[in-house]
């Protein structure tokens, strides 16, 4: 039985919100790679100097590599580079191993270690290429410098695939900081290709998008492995235990919408890569919701066909990083890697990576000097949804505010409400109207959704109208406040006034506070900021008037009201409240209302508050410098600084460039039991208290706990005049650190020693807690980014949906009289040959073709082509004794509904052309295996396996895995259809090595599928031996909202199941009563005279027999009845129908019915 077990101890760090694909498709069109075996290393190559390209030869240390400049001449290096490219960058069918040469610093170009590469195992691998994405296909493989590499491909793709060596290196790379010329492209001109690349490098392939969607494989021998992570397929365990340990110097990442290539030396040590990839997939969703990549279209359902190629390399052709817009490529410096592979880094800022990525989404969108602006507008959305950059905003000395450094300041409306930059002309709407509406605004603006940008609606006019329409607000006053960007009379046409006046919307005027996390806008609540931080279990003082801002030149606002959540509010002044928070396990949310002083409109803000455990509080006052530190401390304890609380991480006082008096409070948990001497960096005077009990704040009461009283400026040193104290490991000690600065910039922080010989250790962040917090407190509400998964995955199956059946089991149950008396009609009527054949039947009417399919199958079309003699008359068609059609004969008869049966009787009742029939083929077809587009992957956690059924990776599969069914093994699942569900299709491999598997529906035999049987158009396009992600079988006619148990049992050959098509989802199966024996299906009766033949082992090719027939050809006539045995259990239908009628072949009699309704009730 297949199940997931959770171990009490695991050897890897699981991701928190990113995940490997299981119940849904997360990797739909990925490539796949498997290691076949270890291979011997080729002959040891010779140094490239022996080729004599440069005279004199270049010495090792004369070459250039990252952070190591060249000392050889440019002429020497150019001669060697061009010699290598001339002699080695080309296709070879065979290769003399005596001509293997290596470039000595090739591996160093990518921060690699030559010894690590030299000592690594060499492998033969098989790459499975999916051209639904492309054109580039990374492999996670690396060619060691100068060694022989062998590539094997199918004859059908010779000259149709290009080997790309070091594709990730900029073609403009010169010898400034890395070697130029390390790239090489080779068209594979034979089924076997050999090459030696002296520099070594990454191996990728290029093949056009949608040029081989059946999939094909490539064998590569002599390579080493690189770290390679595929989101949706690679698990955290696979990454940490195997893939991250590979020695290749370059690391590859596939997050679906893009590939990232970077030096592996440091990046491969990252953990929780599924979290990082979820973040970048979420970023891609933000970008695609607004615009398209320049010159790169997506599929109609939104799937990305050309992933963005981001390359981290020492050489960047321009500036710090560069986006080659139109080429779908980005080059970034290697030290940017943490933002790609570590979400804990990205969550605190990865502006550069976001900025370069978004450059590719500026197509047809920009006004003024927008080149480095409109892309940053999209950054703001991603930061708001998925980072914590804005969470550190706080209030400190004398009511000043802190929003962090750099881009932190842009991430909250309080910091930029008065900005007039072009960035915020575009970007501030995120905060006023929420991320969903902002994305709609930008999309409408970029795509001219409601107003076409032209002379009537020039840029500013069009943008103003779109925002006003979508927000249902008059944005004219707001737009006028950006008067520095445009001339109103020129850029805003009078028609805008006419249209907006006609709408009658009220004006928009913004107001913000540092506390806010969002707004309630027209009844819709949204949050763009993270909860405001306060110390755990301590009262906090809010001043809703002082920390309020409105936009200059627009309406002013006055605090009106606070609407509490779980916490308690006590008014202590005008718009000032003492807030007592609820239990720290709750993120409290309350609302604050502000009234527009002009029009009396109410703006409602959302304020979420989160209590933190780790850190210390710092309260500051600006006292007269004539006060000594002791006098100031007494004054502080009398007055306090309720509204000005700064949060430090380690009992530190921040650097402030003015006079101040600061008090830092917190508690410390020692790491060990030992004497401690605390020392301080203080500018200027300082006091330090430590106690086992809470400090009173009164200098006289707390005098016994004072361990330092030092005047003037001092840096930390061991001989400071502080007292030794004995502390116990993990015991709580209350601390207070007081700093007085009388001039210039002051600050303070603490460290300690345990004995005189120790170096000074700074207070550890994870040992400092707020006064009312404890070391065992656990954050019950860790930050979780709002990541939008890719909604385009798994929603549309675009492959061939028709199901045709191998005819080797088909036979006529009644002998018909043919003109050729010696003809065996069974041999020609089902042979797949639809040209003229001596199949004419000549006998009195009715002529009845009673066909036993040899097993139950489902169809909604019968293709019955004629040659030479044609039928012009009426027929009836029955399915296991139930009449399903009566009317004129059509060679292509398409039914209004599907039918599931084993025996079909075509009864020719009349023929104006004579008593004969000229049918040359009899082919049942199911036009759609399932009516659903929804893909449920084989990795679904509710699938149960038995016997030797295993998940495997060696193919092109959803989420990288498929079920391999060995003979007598099985998988089983329970499907709950939704309101649109009526069918289930089975997806898997069609292969020349295929075999048969049995399908059980609700534990009853439903049919058998032969995976070696190809439709003509598929068989003709086969490149290797397998078509991947093909519809194999369909179950139709199910009732919506019903539940069904499906079992698939391997019978013979190679069976791979990669997914299912159904509107619904899998639900938990009942627990098996016993683990053994395997469940036995309830068989349907089969007639003794018509046993099911032994399954075949090979493909059965066909000629033209209806593969390309379209709906609508031929007639539908009068369709009678529904298929039996699908929705209604067979035992309820009765032996009379299933047992007797199904296998007595039904000597055709015209069924007399009073109405179609009567027929449907039979």
* Structure confidence by residue, pLDDT tens digits, 566-616: 999 999 999 999 999 999 999 999 999 999 999 999 999 999 999 999 999
Average pLDDT, the chain: 90
Q: Render pLDDT for 248-275 as a digit per residue (tens, 0 to 9).
A: 999 999 999 999 999 999 999 999 999 9
Q: Cβ distance 205 to 129 under 8 Å?
A: yes
How many CA atoms within 13 Å lie on the side-chain side of 425? 24
* Residue 323 tokens, joined: 């986006």
- The sign one gets for the Cα dihedral 1000, 1005, 1010, 1015 is negative
- The pLDDT tens digits of the residues spanning 68-94 come to 999 999 999 999 999 999 999 999 999
pLDDT of residue 405: 67
pLDDT the model gives residue 1074: 59
Burial degree of 524 (CB within 10 A; 0-12, 13-18, 19+): exposed
pLDDT at 1116: 38
pLDDT > 70 fraction of the chain, expressed in percent and rounded: 91
For 302, the token pair is 């939104």
Q: 270-284, 813-827, 917-931, 967-981 — which is least confidently predicted?
A: 813-827
User: For residues 1015-1033, b (16+ Cβ closer than 10 Å) or e, as one string?
Assistant: bbebbeebbbbbbbbbbbb
| 1121, 884 contact by CB (below 8 A) | yes
Residue 173, CA distances (Å) to 61, 331, 1036 in order:
20, 11, 58
Summarize the confidence of residues 203-224 as an average pLDDT. 96
pLDDT score of 1128 more than 70: no
- d(CA 404, CA 414) in angstroms, rounded, equals 12
Q: What is the pLDDT of residues 449-486, one digit of tens each?
A: 999 999 999 999 999 999 999 999 999 999 999 999 99
* pLDDT value for 742: 92
pLDDT recorded at residue 194: 98
Cβ-contact 258, 329 below 8 angstroms:
no
List the Cα angle 17/22/27 in 5-degree steps.
85
- The CATH 2.60.120.260 portion of the chain extends over 802-925, 935-1067
Alpha-carbon distances, residue 159 vs 85, 191, 202, 208 (angstroms): 20, 9, 21, 12
Number of neighbouring beta carbons within 10 Å of residue 87: 14
pLDDT of residue 155: 96
- Cα 747 from Cα 736, distance rounded (Å): 15
| Structure confidence at residue 638 as a pLDDT band (50, 70, 90) | confident
Lowest mean pLDDT among 230-239, 491-500, 622-631, 1149-1158: 1149-1158
Confidence of residue 1118 (pLDDT cuts 50, 70, 90): very low
Q: What's the mean pLDDT in 790-807?
A: 92
Cα separation, 585 vs 789, whole angstroms:
28
Q: What DSSP letter does each residue of 222-287 carry, written as one string? A: EEEE--EEETTT--HHHHHHTGGG---SEEEEE-SSEEEEEEHHHHTT---HHHHHHHHHHHHHHH
- The CA-to-CA distance between both ends of the chain, in Å, stands at 42
For domain 802-925, give the fold: Jelly Rolls (2.60.120)
Q: Point out the least confidently predicted range of 215-224, 886-895, 1102-1111, 1125-1134.
A: 1125-1134
User: Per the structure block, which two tokens stand in for 100?
Assistant: 């293997």
What pLDDT is recorded for position 1155? 30
Confidence of residue 519 (pLDDT cuts 50, 70, 90): very high
The hierarchical CATH code for the domain 32-312 is 2.60.120.1250
Question: pLDDT tens for residues 388-423?
Answer: 999 989 887 667 788 776 677 789 999 999 999 999
> Facing residues of 228 across strands?
252
Nearest CA-CA partner of 603 in 522, 537, 686, 661: 522
Q: What is the pLDDT of residue 491?
A: 96
Q: Is the pLDDT at 1158 greater than 70, yes or no?
A: no
pLDDT tens digit sequence for 531-574? 999 999 999 999 999 999 999 999 999 999 999 999 999 999 99
Given a cut of 70, is residue 8 above it in pLDDT?
no
- Find the mean pLDDT for residues 427-442: 97
Is there a contact between 739 and 746 (Cβ–Cβ < 8 Å)? yes
Residue 9 has pLDDT above 70, yes or no: no
CB atoms within 10 A of CB 941: 12
Strand-pair category, 616-621 with 660-668: antiparallel
Q: What is the pLDDT of residues 962-971, one digit of tens each?
A: 999 999 999 9
Are the C-beta atoms of 1 and 1072 separated by less than 8 Å?
A: yes
Per CATH, the architecture of 614-769 is what?
Sandwich (2.60)
Residue 822: pLDDT over 50: yes
Ranges of beta strands (E only) in 444-587 are 511-513, 518-521, 524-527, 532-535, 540-543, 548-550, 557-563, 568-573, 576-580
pLDDT at 812 over 90: yes
Q: What are phi and psi of 208, to 5 degrees?
A: -60, 145
Q: Which residues contact 250 (CB under 8 A, 6 or more apart)?
A: 110, 112, 142, 168, 202, 226, 261, 262, 263, 264
Residues 6+ apart with CB under 8 A from 723: 677, 707, 708
CA-to-CA distance for 786 and 177, rounded, in angstroms?
40
| DSSP secondary structure, 85-144, as one string | HHHHSS-BSS--GGG-EE-TTTGGGGT--HHHHHTSPEEEEEEEE-TTS-SEEEEEEEE-
Strand-pairing partners, residue 561, are 593
CATH number of 935-1067: 2.60.120.260
Which residue ranges does the chain devote to CATH 2.60.120.1560? Answer: 614-769
Contacts of 9 (CB under 8 A, 6+ apart): none
Residue-level pLDDT at 367: 77
Q: Check residue 647 and give its pLDDT.
A: 87
Which pair of tokens denotes residue 354? 């976001």
The pLDDT-based confidence of 369 (bands split at 50, 70, 90) is confident
Q: How large is the average pLDDT for residues 351-363?
A: 96
Kindly provide the b/e burial profile for residues 112-136, where b requires at least 16 CB atoms within 10 angstroms of the residue's own CB. bebeebbebebbbbbbbbbbbbbbb
Mean pLDDT of 725-745: 96
């Amino acid at each position: 039985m297949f199940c997931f077990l959770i171990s009490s101890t695991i050897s890897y760090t699981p991701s928190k919100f990113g995940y490997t694909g299981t119940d849904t498709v997360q990797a739909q069109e990925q490539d796949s790679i498997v290691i076949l075996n270890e291979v011997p290393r080729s002959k040891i190559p010779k140094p490239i100097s022996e080729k004599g390209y440069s005279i004199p030869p270049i010495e090792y240390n004369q070459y250039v590599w990252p952070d190591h400049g060249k000392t050889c001449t440019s002429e020497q290096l150019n001669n060697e580079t061009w010699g290598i490219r001339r002699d080695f960058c080309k296709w070879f069918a065979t290769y003399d191993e005596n001509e293997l040469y290596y470039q000595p610093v090739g591996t160093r170009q990518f921060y690699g270690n030559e010894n690590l590469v030299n000592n690594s195992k060499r492998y033969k691998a098989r790459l499975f290429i999916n051209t639904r994405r492309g054109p580039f296909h990374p492999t996670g493989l690396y060619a060691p410098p100068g060694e022989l590499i062998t590539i094997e491909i199918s004859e059908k793709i010779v000259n149709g695939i290009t080997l790309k060596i070091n594709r990730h290196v900029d073609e403009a790379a010169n010898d400034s900081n890395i070697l130029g010329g390390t790239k090489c492209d080779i068209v594979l001109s034979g089924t076997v290709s050999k090459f030696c690349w002296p520099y070594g490098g990454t191996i990728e392939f290029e093949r056009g998008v949608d040029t081989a969607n059946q999939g094909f494989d490539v064998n590569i021998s002599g390579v080493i492995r690189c770290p390679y992570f595929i989101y949706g397929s690679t698990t955290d365990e696979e990454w940490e235990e195997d893939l991250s340990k590979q020695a290749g110097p370059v690391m590859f990442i596939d997050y679906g919408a893009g590939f990232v290539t970077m030096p592996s030396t440091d990046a491969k040590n990252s953990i929780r890569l599924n979290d990082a990839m979820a973040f970048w997939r979420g970023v891609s969703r933000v970008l695609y919701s607004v615009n398209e990549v320049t010159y790169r279209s997506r599929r109609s359902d939104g799937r990305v066909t050309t992933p963005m190629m981001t390359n981290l390399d020492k050489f960047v052709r321009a500036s710090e990083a560069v986006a080659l817009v139109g080429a779908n490529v980005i080059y970034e410096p290697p030290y940017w890697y943490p933002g790609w592979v570590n979400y804990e880094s990205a969550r605190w800022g990865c502006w550069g990576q976001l900025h370069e990525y978004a450059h590719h989404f500026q197509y047809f969108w920009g006004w003024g000097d927008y080149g480095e602006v409109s892309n940053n507008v999209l950054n703001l959305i991603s930061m708001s949804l998925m980072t914590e950059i804005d969470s550190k905003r706080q209030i400190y000395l004398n009511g000043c505010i802190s929003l962090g450094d750099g881009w932190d300041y842009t991430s909250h409306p309080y910091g930029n409400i008065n900005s007039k930059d072009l960035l915020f002309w575009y970007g501030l709407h995120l905060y006023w109207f929420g991320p969903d509406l902002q994305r709609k605004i930008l999309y409408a603006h970029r795509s001219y959704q409601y107003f076409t940008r032209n002379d009537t609606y020039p840029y500013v006019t069009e943008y103003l109208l779109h925002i006003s329409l979508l927000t249902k607000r008059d944005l004219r006053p707001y737009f006028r406040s950006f008067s520095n960007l445009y001339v109103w009379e020129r850029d805003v046409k009078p028609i805008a006034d006419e249209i907006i006046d006609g709408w009658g919307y009220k004006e928009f005027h913004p107001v913000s506070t540092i506390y806010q996390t969002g707004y309630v806008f027209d009844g819709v609540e949204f949050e763009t900021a993270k909860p405001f931080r306060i110390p755990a279990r301590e009262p906090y003082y809010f001043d809703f008037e002082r920390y309020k801002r409105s936009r200059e030149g627009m309406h002013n606002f006055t605090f009106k009201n606070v609407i509490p959540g779980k916490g308690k509010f006590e008014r202590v002044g005008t718009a000032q409240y003492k807030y007592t928070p609820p239990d720290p396990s709750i993120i409290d949310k309350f609302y604050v209302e502000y009234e527009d002083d002009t029009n009396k409109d109410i703006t409602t803000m959302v304020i979420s508050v989160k209590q933190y455990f780790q850190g210390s509080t710092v309260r500051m006052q600006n006292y007269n410098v004539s006060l000594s530190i002791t006098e100031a401390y007494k004054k502080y304890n009398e007055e306090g600084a309720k509204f000005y609380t700064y949060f430090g991480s380690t009992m530190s006082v921040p650097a402030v460039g003015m006079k101040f008096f600061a008090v830092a409070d917190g508690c410390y948990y020692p790491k060990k039991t030992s004497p401690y001497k605390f020392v301080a960096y203080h500018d200027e005077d300082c006091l330090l208290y430590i106690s086992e009990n809470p400090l009173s704040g009164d200098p006289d009461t707390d005098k016994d706990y004072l361990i330092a009283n030092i005047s003037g400026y001092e840096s930390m040193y061991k001989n400071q005049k502080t007292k030794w104290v004995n502390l116990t490991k993990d015991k709580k000690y209350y601390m207070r650190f007081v700093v007085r600065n009388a001039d210039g910039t002051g600050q303070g922080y603490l460290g300690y020693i345990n004995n005189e010989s120790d170096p000074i250790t700074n207070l550890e962040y994870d040992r400092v807690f707020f006064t009312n917090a404890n070391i065992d407190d656990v954050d019950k509400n860790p930050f979780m980014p709002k990541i939008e998964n890719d909604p385009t995955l798994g929603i549309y199956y675009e492959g061939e949906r028709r199901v045709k059946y191998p005819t080797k089991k088909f036979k006529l149950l009644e002998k018909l009289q043919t003109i050729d008396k010696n003809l065996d009609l069974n041999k020609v009527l089902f042979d797949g040959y639809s040209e003229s054949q001596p199949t004419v039947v000549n006998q009195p009417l009715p002529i009845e073709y009673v066909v036993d399919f040899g097993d139950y199958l489902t169809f909604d079309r019968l293709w019955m082509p004629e040659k030479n003699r044609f039928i012009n008359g009426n027929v009836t068609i029955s399915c296991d004794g139930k009449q399903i059609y009566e009317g004129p004969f059509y060679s292509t008869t398409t039914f209004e509904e599907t039918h599931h049966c084993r025996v079909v009787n075509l009864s020719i009742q009349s023929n104006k052309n004579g008593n004969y029939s000229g049918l040359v083929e009899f082919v049942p077809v199911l036009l759609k295996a399932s009516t659903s587009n929804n893909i449920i992957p084989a990795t679904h956690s509710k699938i149960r396996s038995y016997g030797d059924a295993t998940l495997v990776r060696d193919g092109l599969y959803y989420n990288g895995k498929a079920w391999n069914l060995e003979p007598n093994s099985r998988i089983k699942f329970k499907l709950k259809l939704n309101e649109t569900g009526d069918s289930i299709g089975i997806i898997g491999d069609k292969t020349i090595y295929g075999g048969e598997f049995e399908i059980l529906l609700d534990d009853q035999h439903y049919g058998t599928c032969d995976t070696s049987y190809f439709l003509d158009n598929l068989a003709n396009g086969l490149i290797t031996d397998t078509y991947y992600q093909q519809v194999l079988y369909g179950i139709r006619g199910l009732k919506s909202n019903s539940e069904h148990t499906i079992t698939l049992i391997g019978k013979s050959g190679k069976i791979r199941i990669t997914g299912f098509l159904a509107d619904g989802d899998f639900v938990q199966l009942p627990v098996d009563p016993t683990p053994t024996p395997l469940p036995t299906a309830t068989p349907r009766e089969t007639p003794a005279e018509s046993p099911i033949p032994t399954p075949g082992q090979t493909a059965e090719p066909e000629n033209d027999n209806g593969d390309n027939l379209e709906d609508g050809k031929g007639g539908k006539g009068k369709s009678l009845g529904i298929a039996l045995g699908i929705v209604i259990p067979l035992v309820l239908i009765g032996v009379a129908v299933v047992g007797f009628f199904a296998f007595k072949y039904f000597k055709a009699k015209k069924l007399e019915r009073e109405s179609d309704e009567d027929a449907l009730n039979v």
